[in-house]
Structure 1
Amino acid sequence: MWGLALVLTLLFLKGLQGQDSAKRVVGLSGTCLRLWPPKTLAKNIESVQWKRPGPSPSEFSVILTWKCESDHCKDKNWTLNHLNKRFGFITQNLSLTIQAAQQQDSGFYIFEATDEHGKVKNYTFQVSVFDHVGEPHVLQDSKVLEGGRCQVTLSCSVPSGDNVSYDWYRGSVLIETARNHSTLEDQIDANSSHIYTCNVSNSVSWTNRTFILHCPGDSQRKWSTLGSNRG
């Protein structure tokens, strides 16, 4: 039932927006996000509502309401209709702010503007809030093959690893993998060393772990971690 409700909501939002897709807004948790109405918005706006879809496609949770009740709309008044006091409103440009955004703030937002002739326009925003990528944890294993080559298996994971991508590098060269997985299998020649890097990222941050693998040509394994970086 939840999946059906989501599909119906998406179809309803698409109907509100017409042929245009929702504007995507991405942010880092704990930072301030701002949703900007389009620059093409008419100047003669009489009222505004910022809202979010409710439990069903025809229901909405109104975040705030603003009405221009005088000829001096620069002194605009607005009312917060939502329990979340982290929402704010910039009267000069009718934008919505989310202070210290959290993952639960992700989702669709709707900007509804009514002009002096009663014409209503809706614009949708798809907000995604991501946490910093955590420190990667790497598991390493190897075995010696016939001819002295080594089969190495590397596994890389991060806490709360949802919505992250994994990339593997040998030196500075990206290793093409069949899937975007956290596990890498590779073979290296005997008596050789290679630098591997596991890079984990989401839309707003990244972190990596770099280490040296040495294949001695016997059952001995040598690993040397160089360290990690993040951004």
Structure 2
Amino acid sequence: MGCSACLWLLLSLGCVWGMGRRARETVLGTLGKATMLRIPPELQNLTLHCGEAMWKRDTEDPQRKLVLLKYSGGNYTNFMQGRNRFHKLDFSLEILNTSRQDRQLYEYVVSKASEEEVWQIQLEVYEPVSHPSIQILSRVLANGSCAVTLNCTTERGDNVSYNWASQDLSTSGLCSHNGSLLHLSYSLQDASIACACTASNPISSRVVTFNSSECNYEHGGGAGLRTEQLVLLVVVPIVTVVVIIGVFVVARLAMPRASPEQEHSSLAEDGTLHTIYSQVQRVESPKKDPTTVYAKVMMPMV
């Protein structure tokens, strides 16, 4: 019997005697990217010689499974065309655009007669970590030393963990901490201290560094706080003064200007002496012409 015949016999026996075994692995998928589900070489060989297999996955209903693909005698049917891609060379299944709903238990089943061998894959889906930032929550300067509380955060990412470490071996213990908050205390006479925060999850990691040679140095989110304080303390008062001056100038320009007659009338009303021209009849000489009398009277001011 040749080697090829022996190999075929062993694989055939494996189709009968090796069935019923279950093995499981975990695959990490990235949200929005393609994820490949592979089977081991042993199952690939069994599929070639036993002839029938299928991909399926769990659903929200524990009593129901969703069949994704069927393979038989070199041909296959993809029931999720456009969402999954089958690779006939190694019988792997590719999820084209991984979503959170794809986080399920997948099974690759090889069938022969009344028995089957199952390979299980638990798919976990994660959103990658975005670039982290550092905020200075508190800062105290006393006795030639500086004490700051730093907070490392990231806007996006699933199951994010934070770890602080020093980029300089001489200050390794100063920056070592697990968690987003770091309480850092150092002498102002020390050289610049560099503490790196690593934000990570099972599929990605990002690093941001805090460098400080002075107690009032700000980095990342702290710089944003200083800018807001500058706006409140400097820009807002300046804008308020400019607005008040503008309103005053506009009000002055909008006032109507007085005509020369009105100005003359105003001057006359402000004076204390007013000349009155009147004509009176002399009682003693009724036959004489009327005499014009000029009289100056004091007019009260209005």
TMscore range, shorter length:
0.7 to 0.9
Residue type of the alignment partner of 2:125:
V
More strand by share: 1
Tell me the equivalent position of 2:210: 211
**2:162 pairs with 132, 141, 166, which one?**
166
Q: Mind listing any 5+ residue stretches in structure 2 that lack a counterpart?
A: 1-19, 221-302
Tell me the equivalent position of 2:62: 57
Residue type of the alignment partner of 1:92:
L
Do structure 1's residue 140 and structure 2's residue 136 form an aligned pair?
Answer: yes
Q: Mind listing any 5+ residue stretches in structure 1 that lack a counterpart?
A: 1-15, 69-75, 226-231
**1:90 pairs with 74, 87, 90, which one?**
87
Tell me the equivalent position of 2:96: 99
- 1:25-73 Cα deviation digits (max 9, x unpaired): 22333433221112112242332121111223332111122222xxxxx
Higher relative contact order (CA 8 A, sep 6+): 1
Closer, same or farther: CA 46–184 of 1 in aligned 2, 3 Å: same
More helix by share: 2
The separation in 2 between residues aligned to 1:152 and 1:86, in whole angstroms, is 50
Contact kept in structure 2, 1:215 and 1:222, CA below 8 Å: yes
SS of the aligned residue for 2:179 comes to coil
TM-score, normalised via structure 1 length = 0.72
SS of the aligned residue for 1:44 comes to helix
Do structure 1's residue 150 and structure 2's residue 149 form an aligned pair?
Answer: no
Give the CA deviation at 1:129: 3.0
Alignment of 1:1-231 (within 5 A): 18=22, 20=23, 22-41=24-43, 42=46, 43-68=48-73, 76-82=74-80, 85-115=82-112, 117-144=113-140, 146-172=142-168, 173=172, 175-177=175-177, 180-192=178-190, 193-216=192-215, 221-224=216-219
Give the CA deviation at 1:17: 6.2
Contact kept in structure 2, 1:152 and 1:187, CA below 8 Å: yes
Closer, same or farther: CA 45–176 of 1 in aligned 2, 3 Å: farther
Residue type of the alignment partner of 2:165:
Y
Give the CA deviation at 1:146: 4.9
